[in-house]
């Protein structure tokens, strides 16, 4: 679909130029694309008989995002052979690549093949593809999930934030020991991801006016502002300024993956290092359909191997001593809830699927005719403002670029997230053979008014803030459902099921303390895998 396709979706309004609907769509695509792309399940395609293969492995890791990448690397470094199963494909990047879709002109690469995309209820004719984004539409909430080697790190903005001790202990078990996390595991993740703030040379360049305006207004409103560490080699962006590379960072065309390279996503950090050991193997286009416990206490994983269109070309039954669930929050919940419903893993702990959270996400467009945000807005994120003094209401707000629009539309993106107490749940619908998400509309009612109050003050008089979550309630940061405490121990061991582990966002109890979740998920996984190597290698697996 081209940008003309989005304009066509608004033609019935009778308005010329960029309509409010078109603006919301494009802006949401820039900082949070899929919340405004509603999807409906497509009819399953018939398939001919395909071969069945059986294999035996020591450890299988399902998923290649932060949890899966950490697990694969550290086990391989400890001498343990690991098979990583990834339902998506690889997305190799730049310089000057065209691997990823462009937010302002999305195509089949944007969406996972089992969805029939619609924009504001109007069909979009994408061919089936193992695309980047998969959405789980629930009651009062849509969760956006990633697919591909590197998982969510491919499409996240990249904010690499560590919560303070007080905020950490408000939402996560104190037994994780913040002092050790602060001394060992958060710094380890920061080193692996090469977290760095944007250089002033870049921030002071013409297309970064939106971040500068945001920082100015934050200070004028009486709040603190600081640069946000990002997993980016910023020299790639600086080289765009000289024309050595075509724009990607400097024009905000990086929300759906950075074509120029330089982004230290999980595929080029943890996964690449794991594969370099010779003990970690990544199988792409391998979608896990079921996980079961065998009669002898081992683990069986059923897999559909697909082509790039999602058509099944082979089925596999894999057996292993240990399975690490790192398929992302929604898919880990789905697989374990399905296993429980079908009796494939008997007696899973009570409470599976509960304690689900959205990390307090809220996404706004900020429009002001008085501000020159620019036709091209450098990104992905430069500045943020933390309000963490009260750990019970701690929140962070940031400015994020929108994709190139061809004209200055006097609009940019503001995002907030923070501590919440309300939780939803995921349950299994046996008839539909899928997991269903349920979210109370008032679950984050204490947080959202404060985020709005702060953003109103930052935007200032004469500005218009549009709450995209009021159009489609959504989150890019689903967490919980298989959380430490009721379902797993702190190291991801599922209670009563030796050899079954959970090391992704579903292990986190619904919130990561006024920070986006990536750094905490990775740090918790780093801590856990140290303990699993010391205590379970050679005994459980």
Q: What is the pLDDT along the chain (541 residues), one digit of tens a residue?
A: 333 332 323 333 333 333 444 444 444 444 444 444 444 433 334 456 899 999 999 999 999 999 999 999 999 999 999 999 999 999 999 899 999 999 888 899 999 998 655 544 455 678 899 999 998 889 999 999 999 999 999 999 999 999 999 999 999 999 999 999 999 999 999 999 999 999 999 999 999 999 999 999 999 999 999 999 999 999 999 999 999 999 999 999 998 999 999 999 999 999 999 999 999 999 999 999 999 999 999 999 999 999 999 999 999 999 999 999 999 999 999 999 999 999 999 999 999 999 999 999 999 999 999 999 998 999 999 999 999 999 999 999 999 999 887 778 899 999 999 999 999 999 999 888 889 999 999 999 999 999 999 999 999 999 999 999 998 899 999 999 999 999 999 999 999 999 999 999 999 999 999 999 999 999 999 999 999 999 999 999 9
The structure tokens listed for 294 are 């065998």
Contact between 416 and 455 (Cβ < 8 Å): yes
The C-alpha angle 284, 286, 289, rounded to 5 degrees, equals 155
- What are the residue boundaries of the structural domains of the chain, listed by start? 3-535
The structure tokens listed for 241 are 């300024």
d(CA 300, CA 201): 53
- Number of neighbours of residue 213 by Cβ within 10 angstroms: 20
E-only strand ranges, 110-261:
115-119, 122-123, 133-137, 142-146, 226-227
Residue pointed to by tokens 């303990």: 531
Per-residue model confidence (pLDDT) at position 18: 39
d(CA 377, CA 383): 14
Specify which residues 304 forms β-bridges with: 287, 315
DSSP 314-358: EEEEEEEEEEEE-S-HHHHHHHHHHHHHTTSSTTPPTTTTEEEE-
Q: How far lies 511's CA from each of 58, 103, 411, in Å?
A: 32, 28, 29
- Torsion sign, CA atoms 112, 117, 119, 125: positive
d(CA 179, CA 27): 39
d(CA 367, CA 233): 30
d(CA 42, CA 40): 6
Parallel/antiparallel/unpaired status of strands 411-418 and 395-400:
antiparallel
The structure tokens listed for 519 are 């750094």
The structure's pTM equals: 0.92
Burial class (CB in 10 A: 0-12, 13-18, 19+), 291: buried
Q: How far lies 406's CA from each of 133, 230, 393, 410, 418, in Å?
A: 25, 27, 39, 12, 33
Query: In whole angstroms, how large is the CA radius of gyration of the chain?
Result: 22
d(CA 503, CA 484): 10
- Number of neighbours of residue 180 by Cβ within 10 angstroms: 11
CATH architecture of 3-535: 3-Layer(bba) Sandwich (3.50)
DSSP 232-300: B-THHHHHHHTTSS-SSTTTTTTTT--TT--B--GGGTHHHHHHHTTSEEEE-SEEEEEEEE-TTS-EE
């Amino acid at each position: 679909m081209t940008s003309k396709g989005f304009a066509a979706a608004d033609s019935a309004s009778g308005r010329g130029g960029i309509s409010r609907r078109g603006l919301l769509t494009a802006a949401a695509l820039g900082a949070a694309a899929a919340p405004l792309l509603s999807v409906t399940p497509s009819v399953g395609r018939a398939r001919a008989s395909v071969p069945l293969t059986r294999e035996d492995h020591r450890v299988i890791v399902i998923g290649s995002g932060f949890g899966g990448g950490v697990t694969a690397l550290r086990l391989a470094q400890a001498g343990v052979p690991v098979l990583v199963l990834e339902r998506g494909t690889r997305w190799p990047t730049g310089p000057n690549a065209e691997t990823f879709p462009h937010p302002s002109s999305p195509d089949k690469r944007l969406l996972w093949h089992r969805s029939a995309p619609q924009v504001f209820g109007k069909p979009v004719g994408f061919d089936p593809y193992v695309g980047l984004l998969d959405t789980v539409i629930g009651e009062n909430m849509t969760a956006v999930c990633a697919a591909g080697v590197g998982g969510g790190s491919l499409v996240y903005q990249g904010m690499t934030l560590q919560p303070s001790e007080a905020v950490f202990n408000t939402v996560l078990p104190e037994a994780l020991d913040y002092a050790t996390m602060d001394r060992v595991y958060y710094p380890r993740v920061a080193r692996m991801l090469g977290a760095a703030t944007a250089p002033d040379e870049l921030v002071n360049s013409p297309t970064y006016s939106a971040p500068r305006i945001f920082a100015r207004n934050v200070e004028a409103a009486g709040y603190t502002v600081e640069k946000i560490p990002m997993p980016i080699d910023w020299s790639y962006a600086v080289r765009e300024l000289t024309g050595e590379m075509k724009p990607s960072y400097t024009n905000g065309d990086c929300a759906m993956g950075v074509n120029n390279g330089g982004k230290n996503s999980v595929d080029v950090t943890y996964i690449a290092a794991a594969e370099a050991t010779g003990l970690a193997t990544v199988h792409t286009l391998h979608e896990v359909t079921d996980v079961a416990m065998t009669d002898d206490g081992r683990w069986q994983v059923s897999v559909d191997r697909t082509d790039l269109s999602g058509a099944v070309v082979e089925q596999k039954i894999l057996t292993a001593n240990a399975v690490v669930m790192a398929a992302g929050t929604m898919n880990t919940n789905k697989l374990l809830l399905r296993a429980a419903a079908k009796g494939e893993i008997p007696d899973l702990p009570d409470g599976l699927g509960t304690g689900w959270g959205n990390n307090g996400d809220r996404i706004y467009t900020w429009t002001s005719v008085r501000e020159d945000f620019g036709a091209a807005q450098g990104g992905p994120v430069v500045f943020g403002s933390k309000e963490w003094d009260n750990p019970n209401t701690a929140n962070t707000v940031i400015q994020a670029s929108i994709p190139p629009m061809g004209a200055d539309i006097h609009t940019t993106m503001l995002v907030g997230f923070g501590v919440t107490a309300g939780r939803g749940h995921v349950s299994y619908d046996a008839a539909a053979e899928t997991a269903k998400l349920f979210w109370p509309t008032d679950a984050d009612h204490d947080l959202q008014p404060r985020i709005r109050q702060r953003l109103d003050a930052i935007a200032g008089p004469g500005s218009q803030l549009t709450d995209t979550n009021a159009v489609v309630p959504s989150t890019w940061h689903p967490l919980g459902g298989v959380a430490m405490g009721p379902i797993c121990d702190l190291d991801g061991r599922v209670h009563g099921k030796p050899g079954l582990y959970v090391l992704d966002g579903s292990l986190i109890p619904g919130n990561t303390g006024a920070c986006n979740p990536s750094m905490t998920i990775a740090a918790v996984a780093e801590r856990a895998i140290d303990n699993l190597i010391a205590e379970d290698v050679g005994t459980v697996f």
